[in-house]
Amino acid sequence: MPTPEIVTLDVWKVAAQTVPRALWRMAVDRRTVTRLPGAQFAKLLGTGDGTTFTVRDADPLHWAVLVAWNSRADADRYEDSRPVRAWRGFAAERLQVRLAPLSSRGSWSGREPFGGSRSAPDDGGPVASITRARLRPTKAPSFWRAVPPVAADLHTVPGLRCAIGVGEAPLGYQGTFSLWESTNAMREFAHRRSAHREVMAATPREGWYAEELFARFRVLEVRGTLDGAVP
């Protein structure tokens, strides 16, 4: 796939009484969003706190829509689309993060949604990362045992602005979105914290993943709030 000019991640918060409406939108918008003009790749995602990456983490009050766009103009037109208008009609809060791909390796549903493997220079500004993995069913229990120390450590790292778990299904298809003050802050967690280093070292040995992706982005703009605060 060509590298998209812009990637948007929307996180919609809903009240408990409107969770059924959110579930309906996640079902009916799946095909609609992928067919919007300029949408190269789209995923509708549940969210969680990313503590264990099991159903215990699930957050029914927050739902996410990730779209890779051909151009900024396509992303701007998305604001007037039927899915966005529908969510605005009942959601209590919205966060949108606009991103420009910097580097990506791996695949998602057999595709390279943020362009092929490459690296890009760091301008020193805020960055974000998206990780996504499809677990091998026989390897999932050992993965779930390994995750909690990493998740606990993540939220103590200086420079983390927000982190949420994202997934396409209750089990086995999971990932994270994290927003950082700088690339150095992100690398501190990824390469210098012992809990994460141990999991990285165990990954090839354990063979947890049938498919995996890691992508890094420049943060272009943050719109709205997440739980009442701007990340």
For residue range 128-173, list pLDDT tens digits in order. Answer: 999 998 888 887 778 777 776 767 767 778 899 999 989 886 555 6
In a domain, 176, yes or no: yes
Q: How many domains does the chain have?
A: 1
Q: What does the radius of gyration of the chain's CA atoms come to, in whole angstroms?
A: 17
In a domain, 197, yes or no: yes
Domain of 132?
6-224
How far is the C-alpha of 192 from the C-alpha of 205, rounded, in Å?
20
How far is the C-alpha of 191 from the C-alpha of 189, rounded, in Å?
6
Write the pLDDT tens digit of every residue in 33-79. Answer: 999 999 999 999 999 875 555 556 789 999 999 999 999 999 999 99
Write the pLDDT tens digit of every residue in 71-91. Answer: 999 999 999 999 999 999 999
Q: What angle do CA 116, 118, 123 make, to 5 degrees?
A: 130
CATH of the domain at 116: 3.30.70.100
pTM of structure = 0.90
In a domain, 229, yes or no: no
In a domain, 1, yes or no: no
In a domain, 196, yes or no: yes
Write the pLDDT tens digit of every residue in 107-129. Answer: 999 999 998 765 556 667 899 99
pLDDT at 124: 75
Q: What share of the chain is helix, strand, coil (3-state, %, to 5)?
A: 35, 40, 25
pLDDT at 32: 96
Q: Which residues pair with 62 in a beta bridge?
A: 13
How many C-beta neighbours within 10 Å does residue 47 have? 21
How far is the C-alpha of 7 from the C-alpha of 94, rounded, in Å?
16
In a domain, 192, yes or no: yes
In a domain, 186, yes or no: yes
Top-confidence residue, 155 or 175? 175
In a domain, 230, yes or no: no
Confidence grade of residue 2 (pLDDT, cut at 50, 70, 90): confident
Write the pLDDT tens digit of every residue in 176-231. Answer: 899 999 998 888 877 666 666 676 766 777 777 889 999 999 999 999 999 999 99
